[in-house]
Structures are given as structure tokens and as C-alpha cells.
Amino acid sequence: MSYAITRIKKYKGGGDVSAVEGHINRDKVCHSNKDIDWSLTHQNYSLIGERDFSDLEKATTWRDVKFSKSTLDSLADKSFNEHASDNIRDYHTAKAKKRNGSGKTLDKVITIRKDAVKVVTAICTSDYEFFENKSDDEEREFFQDCLQWYIDTFGKHNIFSAVVHKDERGREDKKVVPHLHITFTPITDYGELSANHFFYNKKQMQRLQDSYYEAVGEKWKLERGERADFVMDETGRLINRNPKSAKKHTTNQQWKNNTRKQELDAEIAALETKKAELEKEVGEHETKKADNEKEVGEHNANIAKLGATKSKLKKEVEELDNKRGELNVKILKYSDEHTGLQAQQDELNRKIKEFEDDENLLNKRQKHYQDDMKKLKAREKAATEKENNIDAIIDEKVDERVTVFIARCEVEGKKYLADIARKEQQIMKTASEKEEEWGNFFENTNPFDDDYGR
């Protein structure tokens, strides 16, 4: 069940108002307030006033907020005390009346008492369950409705600040409950600074709560708190006949102190329970101690037995050490032998490398010989072709000359026939000699000689 909540507090100005201003605007930062989560301060926003929180998105501590540009700009604006003074100067215009009861009005304005209430602050909110599923637009609309009721009730000209806080966590449940701070001067419609006009007794406060519930609570389906049943006693004082609503109001600090006391009481109860558990554990440990002492006696007997076993094992260890020395000597001997074998293997590897190099050299020479044989065969083939060509040339020349000779014989006649026959025989003889000469030439000439064919 969620309730429509609004509360007011009156201030006479001065330091109290400055402290309230610092809390609302977060500009005169008090780091002792442990309920403020500074990483959420950038979500605060103003409905009336110039305070801007949007540049605090990266703030994580009160120092980040204190030295931000928006905070410094806020400090340069009018303070709440200055706003209140300006409102009083502009709207406190009620004229004083004569004291003799004549009803006549004087020309001078009513003098303000030094202890007069100059500033009133109000808080509007509900509980966490009410805001849990509300969107940002719905939340803003709710606070606008709250602010509108204060404007209609106390006058828009009197209100100079309306700021929504979304950065304060509950000390017990650590949940953030948004709430609206409204600050105004209590100046009446006829121009008189008078908080009593608005809040003159408990009955009047009850009427204001009823009016606020009708304007805000019913629209948002919130519950109203228990109404007080005020009657006037024989002395003229108002008394409350409804005990359910007769709860005494506690301040924020008292509520925090009570909450802290409850937390401490819970811690004390937990410690008492822990103490009883520890005492039980101590008793159990005493029992275990007696059992352990018995076990210690048994362990001492076992230790004596282990001493004898230890001496026997020590002797065996000495024997093993002697054997280990002998093995070390053998290891050194085998190590020297291994070194000698390693040197021999290195020598064999070197000789194998030399044999491989010789084999590679022989392979290269064999390849050169094969290339030379190919060249010789090519030259032999070329010589054979030249020899065949020479025989063909000789045959061709002989045929040509025979033809010429026959032609001459036919032309010159028979008288030259004998001479031509003789010359022909001589030519044939010469050709035979040439043929024989060429044959001897080929037989006696090496075609692979470097001078061949030059």
C-alpha cells in the first residue's frame, strides 16, 4: 500500500536556509550525508529554478560535484535567502493598521518581525513500490502534479525552487526513492508575510493534507494516512481523539538514529547468538583436548618405536651411500670411455665427409668426360657429312666435264675424237689420283684435331 506523502518545514532565514539550499542544490556539498550516492546526482533535475545537474554524469564523489562547472554556476546565482528577500520586497505590501481598533489603514507597510518565518520547504514523495515501475515521463508528471498543487495553494510568485532528487538511498534497504523539494516564501494573497495564515493550527494542516490528497493522491491511486479527529477541549486547545493518527513526527535525523539503533540491536543479537555458539564450541574443544592428550601418549610410544626403526633405516642409508660412491666411480669411468668413443666417431665422420667430397669430385669429372664424348661424336658426324659432300662434288664435276667434252667432239668433228679420248683418259686418271689423294687425306687426318677444318 503506497501513500501520498507531503511534509513542510519552516525556517526563519540565515544559516538554516543556507544549509537547506546546499542540500537541495547539492552546491554547498556536505560529505557527511552517507545516504547520497554521488554517482546518481546527475539524474536530479529542476522543475523551477536554474540548477542544472546534467554535467555531473561522471561524478563519483562529493568532491566531483563540489568543483563541477554547474555547481560553481549555481553558487553565482541568487541564494535562497536572496530569493526570499526579493519576494518579500516585491510582494509583502500589506499596510499596517492603527492599534486603536478604528480600522483605519496606515501608509506604511507592516513591519516584519525578526523571528518571522521567511522560508518554507516542502517534500513530496511516496514509497519505492510506487516509483518502481514508473517511467521517467510518468515520474515527472507526478511531481508536476505535486508542484501544481503547491502553486495553486501558495501562489506561483512565492515559489522560487523545485528540485527532484534521485540520488538518496534508504539506509536500511539501500533503495532510491525519488522525492521533490519545493521552497517558497509564505506571502498571502493580500501581501502579508505570514506563515500562520497557511499553517495556523493542526486543523488547518489536516485540511491541507486533505486538499493535497484530493489533487494528487486520488489521481495516482495512492492512500491517505490516518486522519486526526481534532476537537476543542474546555481550555480551548485542540486534542486528537484518533489514537491511530497520534504518532509523533520524527525528524530525518531521529529516523536515521532509530534505524541505526535497530541495526545495532540486530548486530548485538547476532553477536549473542555467536557467543553461545562459541561457548558450545569451547566445551567441545575441551572434550577433544582430553581425547587428544590420550592420543599424545599413544603417539609418544609410537615415536619410541619409530626411533628404533629410524636407527635401522639410518644404517641402511649409509650402506646405500657407499654403493652410490662405487656407482659414481663407475659412472666416471664410463664417462671417459664415452668421451674416447665420441672422438673416434668424430674422426670417422670426418673421413666419411672426405670420401663424400671425393665422390662428388669424381661425379663432376665423369660428367665432363660424358660432355666431351658427346662433342667428339658430333665432330665425327660432321666429318662424315663433309666426306660425302666431297664425293658428290667430284662426281658432279666429272659429269660436267664429260658433257663438255662430248659436245666439243661433236662440234670439232672426228679429227679431235682421238685427242679428246686421250684427254678424257688423262682426266679420268687425274680424277682417280685425286680420289686416291682424298682417300689418303681422310685416312691420315684426325677429325677431332684442333686444326681440322681450318
Rounded CA-CA distance 90/325 in Å is 112
Rounded CA-CA distance 48/410 in Å is 151
Distances (CA, A) of 179 to 139, 142, 168: 10, 10, 9
- Helix, strand, or coil here: 334? helix
Rounded CA-CA distance 157/184 in Å is 9
DSSP string, 55-80: GGTT--SHHHHHTSHHHHHHHHS--H
2 closest CA partner among 225, 242, 166:
225
35 closest CA partner among 325, 324, 256:
256
- pLDDT per residue of the chain (454 residues) written in tens, 0 to 9: 789 999 999 999 888 999 899 889 887 766 667 888 889 999 999 999 878 888 888 888 878 887 787 777 776 678 999 999 999 999 988 776 655 555 566 667 788 888 899 999 999 999 999 999 999 999 999 999 999 999 999 999 999 999 999 998 876 678 899 999 999 999 999 899 999 999 988 888 989 999 999 999 999 999 987 775 544 555 555 455 555 555 554 455 665 666 667 667 777 878 888 888 888 888 888 888 888 888 888 888 888 888 888 888 888 888 888 888 888 888 888 888 888 888 888 888 888 888 888 888 888 888 888 888 888 888 888 878 877 777 777 777 777 877 887 777 677 666 666 676 777 778 877 877 777 777 777 677 655 555 544 4
Tell me if 213 sits within 8 A of 223, measured CB to CB. no
Per-residue burial over 175-191, b = 16 or more CB atoms within 10 Å of its CB, e = otherwise: ebbbbbbbbbbbbbeee
Q: The cell 486543523 sits on which residue?
A: 203
As given in the structure block, the three cell numbers for residue 46 are 529542476
Evaluate if pTM is beyond 0.75. no
